[in-house]
């Protein structure tokens, strides 16, 4: 419990800083974009021919920053939840359906170990599905070309509904473990580093928790808990 509270505090301060920074970056960025547009219109033809590319470099990179900032704002926002009663097994199956293509292409084995006893939770189904999909995609991306094994488990413990998503992929080095949920933390060439930030945000905003266990070369397990539905 204490650990969860600490997590929530740490997260919300990271989120606050991220939002503040993102907001502060947007204004000067808009000024740069507008100035570059203006410059393009006002510069004489000869100069444009010579250095027009540079203006495009400025515009392209500003767009890129703008995109990143927008993503950052999105992934750290606590937005309103549209709560309804859901079966975790169904949510997990629906999330799985969305990443099925990638799993089938690679020929991974999927082991489902769902507890039959009612494991219902009151959540925003669309948001929780996004969180689950992010975890599934990461698992798929971490797995080897052959012999990938994905284990999905649901069960009830201490009046909580738990979900475990386990892969036998590359694993996570110790020094990365505590940075996983940081915005933009990625070890991938073209990763956004926002998947887990977003996932953690969604789970914490439901009053749930997320933990990770991993061993390099063996695999990784993410463990999520939600309060069981009271109805
Ligand atoms: P991205 O997937 O875009 O890199 P994420 O926030 O989803 O961003 O994940 C951040 C990082 O955490 C990944 O780049 C990877 O290093 C690590 N990671 C997350 N899930 C796993 C996993 N199942 N196995 C190994 N590494 C993982
Ligand atoms: Mg990811």
Report the Cα 5 to chain-centroid distance in Å: 20
What is the spatial order of strands in the sheet that 209-215 belongs to? 109-114, 149-157, 160-167, 219-227, 209-215
Distances (CA, A) of 223 to 9, 135, 199, 226, 230: 20, 10, 12, 10, 21
Q: What is the DSSP letter of 77?
A: -
Tens digits of per-residue pLDDT, 14-27?
Answer: 677 777 888 889 88
Tens digits of per-residue pLDDT, 138-163?
Answer: 999 999 888 899 999 999 999 899 99
**Strands 219-227, 209-215: pairing kind:** antiparallel
Q: Indicate if ligand 1 lies below 6 Å from the C-beta of 210.
A: no
ipTM: 0.99
Other beta carbons within 10 angstroms of residue 230's beta carbon come to: 8
> What confidence score (pLDDT) does residue 75 get?
76
Q: Indicate if ligand 1 lies below 6 Å from the C-beta of 148.
A: no
Q: Are 25 and 65 in contact (CB under 8 A)?
A: yes
Exposure string over 102-120, b if 16+ CB within 10 A, otherwise e: ebeeeebeeeeebeeeebb
Q: Are 228 and 220 in contact (CB under 8 A)?
A: no
As given in the structure block, the two tokens for residue 184 are 């933009």
Pocket probe mutation, ligand 1, options 180, 203, 220, max atoms within 8 Å of Cβ? 180
DSSP H helices in 80-221: 88-106, 125-142, 174-177, 195-205
Q: Indicate if ligand 1 lies below 6 Å from the C-beta of 191.
A: yes
Q: Indicate if ligand 1 lies below 6 Å from the C-beta of 169.
A: yes
Ligand 1 atom at minimal distance to the Cα of residue 194: 6
CA of 61 to the centre of ligand 1 (A): 25
pLDDT more than 90, % of the chain:
67
Tens digits of per-residue pLDDT, 56-84?
Answer: 999 999 999 998 888 888 777 767 889 99
181 contacts: CB under 8 Å, gap ≥ 6: 11, 196, 197, 200
81 contacts: CB under 8 Å, gap ≥ 6: 123, 124, 127, 205, 206
Q: What gap in Å lies between CA 173 and CA 15, rounded to an integer?
A: 24
pLDDT more than 70, % of the chain:
93
Query: Which ligand gives the minimal distance to the CA of 186?
Result: 1
Q: Indicate if ligand 1 lies below 6 Å from the C-beta of 193.
A: yes
Q: Indicate if ligand 1 lies below 6 Å from the C-beta of 139.
A: yes
Query: Which ligand gives the minimal distance to the CA of 167?
Result: 1
């Amino acid at each position: 419990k204490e650990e969860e509270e600490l997590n929530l505090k740490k997260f919300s301060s990271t989120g606050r800083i991220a939002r503040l920074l993102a907001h502060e970056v947007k204004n000067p960025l808009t000024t740069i974009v507008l100035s570059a547009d203006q410059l393009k219109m006002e510069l004489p033809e000869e100069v444009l021919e010579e250095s027009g590319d540079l203006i495009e470099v400025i515009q392209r990179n500003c767009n890129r920053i703008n995109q990143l900032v927008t993503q950052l704002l999105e992934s750290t926002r606590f937005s309103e939840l549209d709560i309804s009663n859901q079966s975790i097994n169904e949510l997990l199956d629906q999330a799985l359906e969305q990443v099925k293509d990638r799993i089938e292409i690679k020929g991974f084995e999927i082991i489902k170990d769902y507890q039959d006893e009612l494991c219902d939770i009151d959540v925003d189904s669309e948001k929780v599905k996004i969180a689950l999909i992010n975890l599934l995609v990461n698992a798929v991306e971490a797995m080897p070309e052959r012999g990938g094994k994905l284990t999905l488990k649901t069960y009830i413990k201490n009046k909580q509904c738990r979900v475990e998503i386990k892969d036998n992929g590359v694993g996570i080095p110790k020094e990365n473990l505590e940075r996983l949920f940081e915005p933009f933390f990625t070890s991938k060439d073209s990763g956004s580093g926002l998947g887990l930030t977003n996932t953690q945000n969604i789970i914490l905003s439901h009053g749930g928790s997320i933990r990770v266990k991993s061993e390099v070369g063996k695999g990784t397990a993410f463990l999520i808990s939600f309060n069981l539905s009271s109805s």
